[in-house]
Amino acid sequence: MSPLIPSLAGGLIAAGLLGIFVGLRLTALPPRPWGRSRHFNLPARTRMLLLAGIGLGLLGWLITGWVLSLVIAPVAVIGLPTLLSAPPAAAQIARLEAMEEWTRSLAGVLTVGIGLEQALAATLRSTPAPINVEVTRLVARLRARWDTETALRTFADELDDATGDLVAANLILGARRRGAGLASVLEGLAESVAADVRARRQVEADRAKPRSTARWVTLISASVLIVLALSGSYVEPYRSPVGQVILAVLLSAYVATLVWMKRMATGRPMPRFLSARSGAMVAR
């Protein structure tokens, strides 16, 4: 049997694992507008990393004779930075903190005694950056004579967060009843969101420790593997076709462990309960 066939078989295992990882990332991307082209285009940074990985793989094949390096290098260059990076928890926490600050500011404006629509417009200048675009659109819709409840439901859809739904739901109730007490309700809600922010920061600090350990272990393991592949006789058995397949299986198992760890460290968002579509159905 030709040595190339088992080596390529091992490489296909790693390539399949990369395909699964890329597929999972693409499902999380927002859909493209209908008017734009649906052709799949890699980002410029990904293309550069792919070309660099292919070049390193060719260099590794020429130096070590490992056909598997043609797959290992691109997978490592593209996949490892993503797998070992921190999840977007910091941005989510900053967004929650912005909602808390904006809710507290809105409660303070409502104590003056003005209407809800005027209070929302008054908070526009002091709105924190993470939610400034959504609040600006909300105020623009209200100024365009949108129904207040419909505008608030659309605002909740744009925030796309369970906490945003909670804030919008309280504002909708305040718009329906038009009574006193909304300011105190929003103040209490802001306190609850602030406690949630503190808890999430503590959880994220605890999750950062195993991520840091995984980075160091991966860096040390990759460095040792490269040094041994270039100069040591310890990895000599992996030069055989069967050894290439075994190496591919071991590396795939390690990458699968990193994928599992990243999925565990990425918390699932709380389900939403408010939407503009449900509001339209209620209005009917």
Q: Which CATH number fits domain 89-199: 1.10.1060, 1.20.81, 3.90.1690, 1.10.3210?
A: 1.20.81
pLDDT by residue (tens digit) across 1-49? 454 455 445 555 555 555 555 554 544 444 444 444 444 466 676 667 6
* Closest residue by Cα to residue 215 from 72, 83, 87, 88: 83
Q: Find tokens 């597929």 and name the residue.
A: 23
Q: How far apart are CA 259 and CA 266, in angstroms?
A: 11
Q: How far apart are CA 189 and CA 166, in angstroms?
A: 8
CB-based contact 230:64 (threshold 8 Å) = yes
Percent helix, percent strand, percent coil in the chain, to nearest 5: 75, 0, 25
pLDDT by residue (tens digit) across 42-87? 667 666 766 776 777 777 777 766 777 777 777 777 777 777 776 6
pTM of the full structure: 0.64
CB-based contact 248:255 (threshold 8 Å) = no
pLDDT by residue (tens digit) across 161-195? 889 999 999 999 999 987 778 889 999 999 999 99
Domain ranges of the chain: 1-23+50-85+233-272, 89-199
Please report which confidence band the pLDDT of residue 269 belongs to, taking 50, 70 and 90 as the band edges: confident
